[in-house]
Amino acid sequence: MALSQSDPIELTCEILVAGGGPAGVPCALAAARSGARVILVQDRPVLGGNASSEVRMHIVGANGTGRFDRGEALITEAREGGIIEEIRLENCVRNPQRSASMFDLILYDLCRREPNLTLMLNTSVVGAERESNANDAPILAVLADRPSTEERFRISAQTFIDCTGDGRLGFEAGASFMEGRESREQFGESLAQPVADSHRLGSTILLTARKHTHPMPFQAPDWARRFSREDLKLRLYATPGEEEPSHEYGYWWAEWGGTLDTIRDNEVIRDELVAVALGIWDHVKNGPPEERSLEESRKDPLEASHWALDWIGFLPGKRESRRFVGQHVLTEQDLMTSRSFPDAIAYGGWSIDLHPPQGVDAPDTEPCEQHPVPWLFDIPLSCCVSREVPNLMFAGRNLSATHVAFASTRVMATCAVVGQAVGTVAALGVRDRILPSAMASTQSFVEKAQRQLLADDSFLIGCDEKGRCPVVSGAQITSSGSQSDAPAIAVNSGQTRSVHGERGAPRGRELPGLHRWMSEGLAAWIRFDWERPQSFVGIQLIFDTGLHRHLTLSHHDGYTAAKMQWGRPQPETVRAYRVEGLSAENQMGEEAWQCLVEVDDNYQRLRRHFFTVPVSYRAIRIVVTGTNGLDHARICGVRFLAESVMEC
């Protein structure tokens, strides 16, 4: 019997997440960690999307790159926190060899270890059932096919989240979406086209190479493209990107297909991109075709004779396809003015990064036109909820934005923080029995969601009041000693990073200060005393992980060496610490501290420790005995956990 004719296997969950890329993985993990039963459906054999071993694109975000870096220690710390920071730190320490497949494994491991999460790889959403034909009817279930096992599934859920990039789930459900480039007049955007068209950003196929001890010849297939010097005059083909000369990784600008339908024509685009990538490599290895008979070309001007192709992708790294129409459409003005949204759930900061749709077929046009946004900017919940389908949410490059605004929000670290936010909000909605369509307009719900996101190490601009822990606020906080401007009480400032510097948070919302305790030396302690014993089930700590620096898996040696501390824990991070509780003095009248937690190998930013039974103490002390490099301790946040991780 054909797969499409067989009876589907019935599955049920509370939240269905479609798409296991940079938005979908944090989304599913956040929802599951928040207590919801989650199924994550991914159409590829690995997780990670454009960051996976199948594509190998850098995960970048609000801290920028190249000409528009945004970051200065203790002043502008723009790198994303939360689950994407957890993933980056894990990858940095466990994958010093910078293996693309090891990154796949790290994502797979995180999902497999989450008890509330069911992962379904090689599975594609192919249909959706709604309650009725009414425009505002909710989704009841999706149909999903897994060709590797010749099985079809019918998956019922309360909330459906589309993180597929192409928007397959929402498309099957009949949700409104946008494609192409809007006109300047439609949304009043200065960077938009004078006349709307169907063009979009193109796709890219990347390659990696290795240097050998002897010459390694390369012969391009007959169907590979041929590029002259004139063809590549505006493209840095001697260097992958804008870093030190090298040939081990390239080329983000090897782009094509933006004048086609990046969904329906994806196979055509793939074939042409392979021809483009091999043509560029042929140019690097063998010189421009017009010069190959010249003596000059035999001098190997790009010093590529000993380099050999090691890997080439066969899955296009897609930048743009569908964008859903949400309750709000994010625009250029929202980004450039850093508009404050009451329902903000995430932030961005990447430049408005527009590319010529023709890609390499536009040799006289710069491969990208980056317009820096002056400040970090809000991304509201209303951009992540369908305008008409009441239980459909979305995160990633398919969120509700114009083509111009999307050119900033599309990058993967931004997709990740939006994904975590949407997953968290969806789980809260399931618990509180509120539909996604009503969330953004319900102030009490939005504020609860924002408090939870801040507790989970997400960053929201200017939300310090919602980020404070009441249990910590009621304590007398002392320490073994503090550096100037970094007192012990700063661990409850409500913000766990500094963003008051250049291109940080907008003026009036920047909340100046270091927002962390910095000790005078080691060993060091910070202490919390209460008038009456306090009961809790755990403690949460947020450490400094150098959010002013770049930290992303790159196959480019120069970029990694120049921008990152890769292959080891970040030097600012506390390595060894104890959490101790005090209930009473001993018979000698001395304080009798009980060790509750002891860690000697930490490299993560967010650490939660749960006790086997609830504890009650009149004082808690955190003793830091070592870091991963600095000569003093840094703690950015402390929270005491009540009945669940959804409370402090």
| Overall average pLDDT of the 39-44 stretch | 99
Tell me the C-alpha to C-alpha distance, in Å, between residue 307 and each of 228, 242, 251, 278, 615. Answer: 20, 19, 15, 14, 61
**201: helix, coil or strand?**
coil
| Overall average pLDDT of the 329-353 stretch | 98
Q: Is the pTM of this model over 0.95?
A: yes
* Position 171 pLDDT exceeds 90: yes
Q: What is the pLDDT of residue 307?
A: 95
The CA-CA-CA angle for residues 557, 218, 358, to 5°, reads: 70
Q: What is the CA radius of gyration of the chain?
A: 26
Q: What whole-number distance in Å separates Cα of residue 48 and Cα of residue 57?
A: 10
Q: What is the pLDDT of residue 65?
A: 73
Q: What whole-number distance in Å separates Cα of residue 580 and Cα of residue 282?
A: 63
Q: What is the pLDDT of residue 587?
A: 64
Confidence of residue 236 (pLDDT cuts 50, 70, 90): confident
70-99 pLDDT, tens digit per residue, is 999 999 999 999 999 999 999 999 999 999
Query: With helix as H, strand as E and coil as C, how does 125-173 read?
Result: EEEEEECCCCCCCCEEEEEEEECCCCEEEEEECCEEEECCCCCHHHHHH
Q: What is the pLDDT of residue 66?
A: 60
| Overall average pLDDT of the 352-374 stretch | 97
Q: What whole-number distance in Å separates Cα of residue 91 and Cα of residue 102?
A: 8
| Overall average pLDDT of the 234-239 stretch | 73
Confidence of residue 434 (pLDDT cuts 50, 70, 90): very high
* Position 238 pLDDT exceeds 70: no
Query: How many helices and strands (H and E) does the chain possess?
Result: 13, 27
Confidence of residue 648 (pLDDT cuts 50, 70, 90): very low
Confidence of residue 172 (pLDDT cuts 50, 70, 90): very high
* Position 369 pLDDT exceeds 90: yes
Q: What is the mean pLDDT of the chain?
A: 95
| Overall average pLDDT of the 583-596 stretch | 81
Q: What is the pLDDT of residue 242?
A: 47
| Overall average pLDDT of the 138-144 stretch | 99
Written as six digits, the tokens of 314 are: 């066969």
| Overall average pLDDT of the 402-418 stretch | 99
Written as six digits, the tokens of 29 are: 């993990």
295-299, 494-498, 563-567: lowest mean pLDDT where? 295-299
176-217 pLDDT, tens digit per residue, is 999 999 999 999 999 999 999 999 999 999 999 999 999 999
Reference 457, options 63, 87, 23, 83; nearest CA is 83
* Position 425 pLDDT exceeds 90: yes
Q: What whole-number distance in Å separates Cα of residue 397 and Cα of residue 57?
A: 15
| Overall average pLDDT of the 315-339 stretch | 99
| Overall average pLDDT of the 31-47 stretch | 99
520-569 pLDDT, tens digit per residue, is 999 999 999 999 999 999 999 999 999 999 999 999 998 899 899 999 99
| Overall average pLDDT of the 248-257 stretch | 96
For 128, half-sphere exposure in the C-beta direction (CA atoms, 13 angstrom radius) is 28
134-143, 564-573, 577-586, 613-622: lowest mean pLDDT where? 577-586
Tell me the C-alpha to C-alpha distance, in Å, between residue 201 and each of 432, 595, 642. Answer: 39, 56, 47
Matching residue, tokens 């000698």: 588
**406: helix, coil or strand?**
helix
| Overall average pLDDT of the 42-67 stretch | 94
Contact partners, residue 625, CB within 8 Å, separation at least 6: 522, 523, 576, 577, 578
- Taking phi over 0 as left and psi of -120 to 50 as alpha, with beta for the rest, 546 belongs to left
Q: What is the pLDDT of residue 240?
A: 44
* Position 239 pLDDT exceeds 70: no
**342: helix, coil or strand?**
coil
Confidence of residue 616 (pLDDT cuts 50, 70, 90): very high
Longest dimension (CA), the chain: 94
* Position 352 pLDDT exceeds 60: yes
Percent of the chain with pLDDT over 90: 90
Q: What is the pLDDT of residue 130?
A: 98
Domains of the chain, start order = 3-181+319-455 (3.50.50.60), 203-312 (no CATH), 465-641 (2.60.120.260)
Matching residue, tokens 């067989």: 6
The H or E element that residue 393 is part of is strand 392-394
* Position 413 pLDDT exceeds 70: yes
Q: What whole-number distance in Å separates Cα of residue 275 and Cα of residue 227?
A: 11
